[in-house]
């Protein structure tokens, strides 16, 4: 099963000694591409802050890639949802 727009899933594995973040092409397989790995913080709040900071960096990279694609003439894919008049 792929996402609706064909983009990969992102998984976070928080282990006792290390945390791994990877991308999966499908939820039907355990095969993944490792994005990053770092030591697991023993303090939960510190661990959360580290994951949030990496997530924000990852989003910035993706946004910059989209901007570069637009500049090169590629189309920007947006996923929008809006109610239809007959959906009531």
The 10s digit of each residue's pLDDT in 26-53 is 778 888 888 889 999 999 899 888 888 8
30 in any annotated domain: yes
Total structural domains within the chain:
1
Residue 17's pLDDT band (boundaries 50, 70, 90)? very high
87 in any annotated domain: no
67 in any annotated domain: yes
pLDDT of residue 12: 85
pTM of the model: 0.59
Residue range(s) defining the domain that contains residue 16: 9-73
**Helix %, strand %, coil % for the chain, to 5?**
35, 25, 40
In whole numbers, what is the pLDDT of the chain averaged over residues?
74
38 in any annotated domain: yes
pLDDT at 18 over 90: yes
79 in any annotated domain: no
78 in any annotated domain: no
State how far Cα 15 lies from the chain centre.
19
């Amino acid at each position: 099963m792929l996402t609706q727009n064909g983009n990969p899933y992102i998984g976070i594995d928080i282990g006792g000694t290390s945390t791994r973040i990877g991308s999966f092409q499908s939820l039907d397989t355990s095969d993944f591409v490792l994005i990053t790995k770092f030591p697991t913080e023993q303090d939960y709040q510190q661990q959360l802050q580290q994951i949030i900071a990496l997530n924000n960096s990852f989003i910035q990279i993706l946004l910059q890639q989209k901007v570069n694609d637009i500049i090169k003439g590629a189309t920007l894919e947006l996923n929008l949802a809006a109610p239809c008049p007959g959906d009531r």
